[in-house]
């Protein structure tokens, strides 16, 4: 079997999606999950872009020992120096240098001629290679670059020391047959191409990122750059879960090819990235969407009951999809809960298990049936990567038709319970204003969403929101059968994140 290298750029290109800002602890949490997932390369960030990004890349380089840790750099010495310093602690560091090569970019963005671009590309790769043993080079906007010039650039950077040449479809302009032909043309027209790996990085502006990436693989690309849930600039990047499962499922088309991804962890890491970025996964999202393995049509249900493969080409358990199978009730003990959590992929400390068990017992008193998705939501809510400053002790609301909604919220701060009351446009707004009074922090809500985790009138509700306060913007979630409580929990989680930044 020939291996397809998975280059994950969730923490770099994925985080560039508007509103997807992650702090260092959140980046580390995702990096650890990517390591467990089995990715080959983690592009941890763009070190020159900010001190926070530099520190996060350096922290990942120090902590994550499995994959190659990569930092992005423009073809500028100060960028390359910053990337080198950030990834230097890694067991296997990599610097990814990029420089635009299309006529439109050279004319309007760089205002440079072909020969100068060629010189800068070679000089930057040579300089980076003198600092770091592994260099990747990307001719930005390669899919719109004139082919003869692209061939010259690729050949030159390989001679200069690039071990990987990435062919980006930067603006998602390419079409699968066209893009596959481009990769084949590079293999046939670049004399030294056998000295480097061809990588591809596709954007989803026309909804073709995965299709283009797979076409490239069929034509000789052996590294694919992608993100969890397909997040990224504009319409996003190629979705890792879709790429990996296409290669795994269609062995007739991708004969002899495989990845080392532990696919049973895909659903879990999808949830993690969704939780930390605040980007909700659409129910109809391929592979990891909530409806990906659910069937409502009677004809489909009948077929599935008789033979699963009639309407399912992937086993749900192959991607870690837990569905809504009934697992536990209010009489279940801590040991049973812990065993079920282990089956779902969660290994908790004693303190974390105590918190989750308390939430589980409270939930079991409120609803008859506890589903796997309920448990997952509780664990995600309770196993935070930051130390809570404020803790919800309780709240009361008074609301109804013709009544000005009022709320009283009690928070614990340094062992002391503090209660404040406020009114608002609705019960949730009143609660948030009461929390602001307790904390002394004025929060500006920028996004707010409610989602039912499971089915039924007693379904666990999950609130995700984006909050701006103290000049910082964070995303957070909270869950409860009471959507007002879920909202308050999410709001307090966001404030605690801000206090820990």
Structure-token match 């809960």, residue found: 337
Q: Does domain 2-277 have CATH number 3.40.309.10?
A: no
Q: How far apart are CA 219 and CA 181, in angstroms?
A: 7
Distance from C-alpha of 105 to C-alpha of 39, rounded to nearest angstrom: 32
Q: Is the pLDDT of residue 325 over 70?
A: no
The token pair that represents 389 in the structure block? 């400053």
- At 373 the pLDDT is 75
Rounded Cα gap, residues 184 and 176, in angstroms? 12
Q: Which of these, 411, 484, 479, 472, lies nearest to 443 by C-alpha position?
A: 472
pLDDT at residue 327, as a whole number: 55
When pLDDT is cut at 50, 70 and 90, the band that residue 339 belongs to is: confident
- In this structure, what are the phi and psi dihedrals at residue 4, rounded to the nearest 5 degrees? -100, 120
Q: What is the spatial distance between Cα 394 and Cα 410, in angstroms, rounded to a whole number?
A: 5
Helix intervals (H) in 170-237: 176-189, 209-218
Report pLDDT for 144. Answer: 98
> If you average pLDDT over residues 434-450, what whole number do you get?
94
> Does pLDDT of 21 surpass 90?
no
pLDDT grade, residue 48 (50/70/90)? very high
What's the CA gap between 486 and 366, in Å, rounded? 14
Question: What local confidence, expressed as pLDDT, does residue 298 receive?
Answer: 66
pLDDT mean over 163-175 = 98
Annotation: CATH topology of 390-500 = Double Stranded RNA Binding Domain (3.30.160)
Residues 270-283: tens digit of each pLDDT? 989 998 888 889 98
* Domain-wise residue ranges, the chain: 2-277, 293-321, 323-382, 390-500
The pLDDT tens digits of the residues spanning 369-408 come to 677 778 887 887 787 666 789 999 999 999 999 999 999 9
Q: Which residue has the higher pLDDT, 347 or 415?
A: 415
pTM recorded for the entire structure: 0.83
Distance of alpha carbon 357 from alpha carbon 346, whole angstroms = 13
pLDDT(295) > 70: no
pLDDT at 341: 84
Q: What is the mean pLDDT of residues 479-490?
A: 93
Task: Give the pLDDT score at 113.
Answer: 96
Residue 265 confidence (pLDDT) above 90: yes
Give the Å distances, CA to CA, from 88 to 24, 41, 45, 163: 18, 15, 14, 18
Tally the residues of the chain.
501
């Amino acid at each position: 079997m020939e291996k397809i290298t998975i280059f994950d750029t969730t923490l770099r290109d994925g985080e560039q999606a508007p509103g997807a800002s992650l702090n260092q602890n959140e980046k580390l949490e995702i990096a650890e999950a990517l390591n467990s997932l089995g990715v080959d390369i983690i592009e941890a960030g763009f070190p020159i872009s900010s001190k926070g990004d530099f520190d996060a890349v350096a922290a990942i380089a120090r902590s994550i020992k499995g994959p190659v840790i990569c930092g992005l750099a423009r073809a500028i010495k100060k960028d390359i120096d910053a990337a080198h310093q950030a990834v230097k602690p890694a067991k296997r560091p990599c610097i990814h240098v990029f420089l635009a090569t299309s006529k439109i970019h050279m004319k309007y963005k760089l205002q440079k001629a072909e020969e100068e671009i060629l010189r800068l590309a070679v000089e930057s790769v040579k300089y980076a290679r003198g600092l770091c043993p592994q260099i990747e080079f990307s001719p930005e906007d390669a899919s719109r670059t004139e082919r003869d010039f692209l061939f010259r650039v690729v050949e030159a950077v390989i001679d200069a020391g690039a071990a990987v040449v990435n062919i980006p479809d930067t603006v998602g302009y390419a079409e699968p047959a066209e893009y596959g032909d481009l990769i084949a043309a590079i293999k046939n027209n670049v004399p030294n191409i056998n000295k480097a790996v061809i990588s591809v990085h596709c954007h989803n502006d026309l909804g073709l990122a995965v299709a283009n990436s797979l076409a490239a693989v069929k034509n000789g690309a052996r590294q694919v750059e992608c993100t969890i849930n397909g997040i990224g600039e504009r319409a996003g990047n190629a979705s890792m879960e879709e790429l990996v499962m296409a290669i795994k499922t269609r062995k007739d088309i991708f004969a002899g090819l495989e990845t080392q991804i532990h696919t049973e962890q895909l659903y879990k890491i999808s949830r993690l990235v969704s939780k930390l970025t605040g980007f909700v996964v659409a129910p109809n999202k391929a592979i990891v969407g909530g409806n990906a393995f659910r069937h409502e049509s009677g004809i489909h249900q009948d077929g599935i009951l008789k033979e699963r493969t009639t309407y399912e080409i992937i086993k749900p358990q192959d991607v870690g999809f837990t569905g809504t199978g009934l697992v536990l009730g209010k009489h279940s003990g801590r040991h049973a809960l812990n065993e079920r959590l282990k089956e779902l992929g969660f290994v908790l400390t004693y303190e974390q298990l105590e918190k989750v068990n308390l939430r589980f017992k409270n939930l079991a008193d409120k609803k008859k049936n506890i589903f796997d998705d309920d448990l997952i939501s509780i664990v995600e809510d309770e196993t935070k990567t930051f130390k809570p400053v404020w803790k919800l002790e309780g709240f009361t609301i008074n609301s109804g038709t013709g009544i000005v909604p009022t709320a009283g919220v009690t928070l614990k701060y340094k062992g002391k319970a503090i209660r404040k009351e406020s009114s608002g446009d609705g019960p949730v707004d009143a609660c948030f204003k009461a929390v602001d009074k307790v904390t002394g922090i004025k929060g500006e809500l920028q996004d707010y969403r409610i989602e039912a985790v499971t089915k039924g009138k007693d379904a666990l509700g999950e609130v995700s929101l984006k909050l701006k306060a103290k000049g910082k913007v964070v995303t957070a979630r909270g869950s409860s059968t009471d959507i007002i409580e879920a909202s308050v929990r999410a709001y307090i989680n966001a404030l605690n994140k801000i206090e820990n930044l």
